[in-house]
Structure 1
Amino acid sequence: MARWLGQLLVLAVVAGVALTALATPASAHGQLAMSTPAKDSTVKEPLESLALYFTEKPAPNAYFTVTTPSGARVDEPWSHGQPKRLDEPVTEYNLVDGTWQPNLYHTGFPAMVPVAYWPEQGLYVARYMSVASDGEKVTGEVKFTYKGKTSGPPKGWKAPVNEPDPALLNPSEPGAAVPSAGAAAPATPQATPQAAASNAPQAASGFDLSVWLLPAALVVGVGFMVVRAARRPSPRGAQVRRRPTGPPARTPPGRPATASRKAKGAKAVKTAKRR
């Protein structure tokens, strides 16, 4: 029984975690939408710069680094690039009157990060840190494998040692860096009822079927296991009493004779009368 209770407890915890995860869509804005090179891709030719596309312009004090397989930095100061239409639209959510409303973004705003040189082949990592227009921190990384030609550092090269702006580390505090209206205006969401319905099903009343489907299935599974455990017979009750084996017990002296002995006695009496 303890084993069943343990399994039921695990299922209940999983159901609670799933419900929390599904009921809380990602609300942060300005997330990375795509990159050149793409995540986990292979680069066979040296690139002058990397392009990281976000759903809104990165903050003016955003922080970017590019490190080699050995950990050396090869990035140069970044700059804003020309906006580009995304290969795939990105859906982000806004909390409006207690309901998560999806917004569809079609345009990517790049941060161009020059690469000074490519000293070795292997796994490179481009990391970024910024703050979105809603004050949320935007961080992440893009990993890719370089298999192109290697080269030495340019003349007078000094690896950067700058650190992120303290305002990026605590964007929720007063004075945190938030994109200004001119330098880093957020992308205008292009959402239509059809697009919103296809990318993030959301009913007008705020009820989302996908939010409750998995938890409901888990609850049904837990109930089934409870009923099954309750109907399972007790191990003691399931044991079958075995009949004793061995020679039949003899009739102790003084007990009445069995039916067979009575029959033999009656037969003997009849025989004597005939004689």
Structure 2
Amino acid sequence: MRLSWRVIWVVFGLVATIGVVAQPAAAHGQLAVSVPAKDSTVGAPMEKLELYFTEKPAYNAYFAVVSPSGRRLDGQWSHGEPKRLDEPVRELFLINGTWEPKLFETGFPAMVPVGYWPEQGVYTVKYVSRASDGELVKGEVRFSYDGKIGKAPAGWKAPDSEPDPALLVEPSAVPSPGVQPGAETQASQGPQLVQPTSLFSQPAPVAAEESSGSDGGFVVWLIPAVLVGGVLILLVSTARRPANKIR
């Protein structure tokens, strides 16, 4: 029985180690904060909503404000002035086979106008963009509205736009567009991932050097592989050990 508990503890340690070593990178360019905040309650009509990301949203990013009954209420979004975040956001970058955290203290907003507020209930703000390293940035913010109900302004036409197909294409499938005017050369920036530059209004800064070679993956999975081998050896040796005779 004692040996069985030893095996259980070894397996538990193996699972915990794999969870730490093989931890996936946090999505880059993620949503940091929004106004109104997620799951908050709004008591009066707002002319625009503000979504702050850890980097400037792609120029063709998609935003939609949807009422409780499913009506689109958003207008053409625009970039706003960056601001310092009350709480820094941590994102992870793979550097030489190790996940290294980096704190982002500045929020880059997307300002989304709201045409009118037709009903009370739960509203949803949907967004789709691409981070500077090519990762898909996608999600939604829900909040409740219990303020005054209004009618659609004269000439209002609900938008029916969909996300730009280029946003949904993986970076490897996007042809390399070349260096934009005024952009720094890759030689001066160091190694970086191939990214769909055409999705951005300006060259995106390199937040951290990421290792894309096979050595990084080998190091990341080396420790779990060794632990798995150790567990197998322990189990085999246990099976071969003769059972204790009852005196």
Could you tell me the TM-score, scaled by structure 2's length? 0.67
Residue 185 (structure 1) shift = 3.5
Identify the residue that residue 202 of structure 2 maps to in structure 1. Answer: 183
Quote the residue 2:88 is aligned against: 89
**Compared with structure 1, are the counterparts of its residues 120 and 59 closer, same or farther at alpha carbon in structure 2 (3 Å cutoff)?**
same
- Which letter does structure 1 place at the counterpart of 2:128? M
CA RMSD of aligned residues (A): 3.3
Question: Secondary structure of 1:116's partner?
Answer: coil
Equivalent position of 2:123 in the other structure? 124
Cα distance, 1:146–1:177 mapped onto 2, change above 3 Å:
farther
Please name the residue that 2:191 is paired with. none
Contact 2:48/2:114 (<8 A) preserved: yes
The structure with the largest alpha-carbon Rg is 1
Residues 174 and 196 in structure 2, CA contact (< 8 A), matched pair in contact too: no
> Counterparts of 1:139 and 1:60 in 2: how far apart (Å)?
15
- Output the amino acid matched with 2:88: P
Q: Is the 8 A contact 1:27 1:95 kept in 2?
A: no
The equivalent residue for 1:170 is: 169
- Tell me the SS of whatever aligns to 1:120: coil
Q: What pairs up with 1:139-218 in 2 under 5 angstroms?
A: 139-172=138-171, 173-175=173-175, 177-178=196-197, 183=202, 185-186=204-205
Corresponding letter in the other structure for 2:202: A
| Whole-Å separation in 2 of the counterparts to 1:53 and 1:187 | 19
- For this pair of structures, how many residues does the alignment match? 189
Report how far residue 178 of structure 1 moved. 4.0
Consecutive unaligned residues in structure 1, runs of 5 or more: 190-205, 224-236, 238-275
Seen in structure 2, the aligned counterparts of structure 1 residues 177 and 69 have a Cα distance that, compared at 3 Å, is farther
Residue 259 of structure 1 corresponds to none
Assess if the C-alpha contact under 8 Å between 2:166 and 2:199 holds in 1.
Answer: no
Residue identity matched to 1:33? A
CA distance in 1, matches of 2:26, 2:154: 45
Check the 8 A contact 1:167/1:177 in 2, yes or no. no
Deviation at 1:167, TM superposition (A): 1.1
1:39–1:142 Cα contact (<8 Å) kept: yes
Cα offset for 1:101? Answer: 1.3
Secondary structure of residue in 1 paired with 2:84: strand
Cα 1:42/1:94, change in 2 over 3 Å: same
Alpha-carbon deviation of 1:177? 4.6
3-state SS of paired residue (1:109): strand
Structure 2 CA distance for partners of 1:182 and 1:148, relative to 1, 3 Å? same
Q: 2:20 aligns with which of 22, 26, 29?
A: 22
Superposed CA deviations along residues 38-93 of structure 1, whole A, max 9, x for unmatched, are 00000001100100000000000100000000001000110000101101001111
The CA distance in 1 between the partners of 2:76 and 2:206, in whole Å, is 23
Find the counterpart in structure 2 of residue 36 from structure 1.
35
- Call closer, same or farther: CA 1:90–1:150 in 2, change over 3 Å: same
**Distance of aligned partners of 1:111 and 1:179 in 2 relative to their CA distance in 1, 3 Å threshold:** farther
Aligned counterparts of 1:124 and 1:181: Cα–Cα separation in 2: 29
Counterpart CA distance in 1 for 2:84 and 2:42 is 22
| Percent of residue pairs identical | 56
Q: Residue deviations 1:196-232, cap 9 Å, x none?
A: xxxxxxxxxx99xxxx9xx9xxx9xxx9xxxxxxxxx
Aligned mates of 1:15, 1:67 — CA distance in 2: 45
Shift of 1:183: 3.3
Q: Matched residues in 2 for 1:93 and 1:188: separation? A: 10
Quote the Cα distance in structure 2 between the aligned partners of 1:14 and 1:124: 44
Q: Does 1:71 align with 2:90?
A: no
